Amino acid sequence: GAGVSQSPSNKVTEKGKDVELRCDPISGHTALYWYRQSLGQGLEFLIYFQGNSAPDKSGLPSDRFSAERTGGSVSTLTIQRTQQEDSAVYLCASSLALQGGGYTFGSGTRLTVV
Amino acid sequence: GESVGLHLPTLSVQEGDNSIINCAYSNSASDYFIWYKQESGKGPQFIIDIRSNMDKRQGQRVTVLLNKTVKHLSLQIAATQPGDSAVYFCAENNAGGTSYGKLTFGQGTILTVHP
């Protein structure tokens, strides 16, 4: 597609429920990233995927968070047993690795845990 | 600049003025830097980037300056317009000047442009 697409744009869930957030990167971009942005804060790195390499999971805050990328394209971020502190905007980005030009971000999924 | 808690640095300017937004980075190994603009309800939008082998780069109405000695980055916006009002973030990585790998963001600066 023309840009990075994320769905849903908004998600309200009850504490303890599992949620899945989806990211559709720019076609041909080999690298995909997930970030989290709490209200009024900067972006916190979560995880990134590059081709067939093992993902860098160093930013995942707990084992309740996981992500996968199928077929080198679409990615799903899963949060199990959601907590109120998980409320944030989850942003996905993709890049054509090994070149400049920055990383292209989607509009994010606003997650609210009640 | 840096912020504590929820209070981001703010910059208020009049339309037509030049704006300068500053960013301090901590990783001396960083070799690629990007400025992003984020409007309310949207994802960060790429503005301009610079590699560590340069100290200045110009775009349309924007200039990025890099001072590696003091680990400081700045974004200059010429003839600031109301549409420039947003939160501005600097970001860095150390991937040989490429868009690859973990990108670390600064806390952001809120720019408000008054007509």
Alpha-carbon gap: A78 to the closest alpha carbon of chain B (Å): 20
Best mutation target among A30, A43, A60 (most B Cβ atoms within 10 Å) is A43
| Residue A74 to chain B, least CA–CA distance (Å) | 18
Q: Closest chain A residue to B46 measured between Cα atoms? A: A102
Question: Does the structure show a pLDDT above 80 at B10?
Answer: yes
Question: How confident is the model over B36-47, as a mean pLDDT?
Answer: 94
Among A54-63, A77-86, B1-10, B24-33, name the one with the lowest average pLDDT: B1-10
Give the mean pLDDT of B26-43.
93
In chain A, which residues have their Cβ closer than 8 Å to the Cβ of B100? 31, 50, 95, 97-98
Cα–Cα distance for residue pair B16/B23, rounded to 1 Å: 23
Output the pLDDT for position B92: 94
Judging contacts by C-beta atoms under 8 Å, the chain A residues touching residue B106 are 42
Edge to edge, the sheet with strand A75-79 lists A5-7, A19-24, A75-79, A65-69
Q: Sorting pLDDT into bands at 50, 70 and 90, what band is B5?
A: very low
User: Does B106 contact A101 at a Cβ distance shorter than 8 Å?
Assistant: no
Contact of A20 with A109, CB cutoff 8 Å: no
3-state class (DSSP) for residue A86:
helix
The overall average pLDDT reported for chain A is: 93
pLDDT at A40: 77
Taking CA–CA distances from A108, the nearest residue in chain B reads B43
pLDDT score recorded for residue A1:
52
Q: Is B26 exposed, middle or buried (0-12, 13-18, 19+ CB in 10 A)?
A: exposed
Q: Which helix (H) or strand (E) holds A60?
A: none
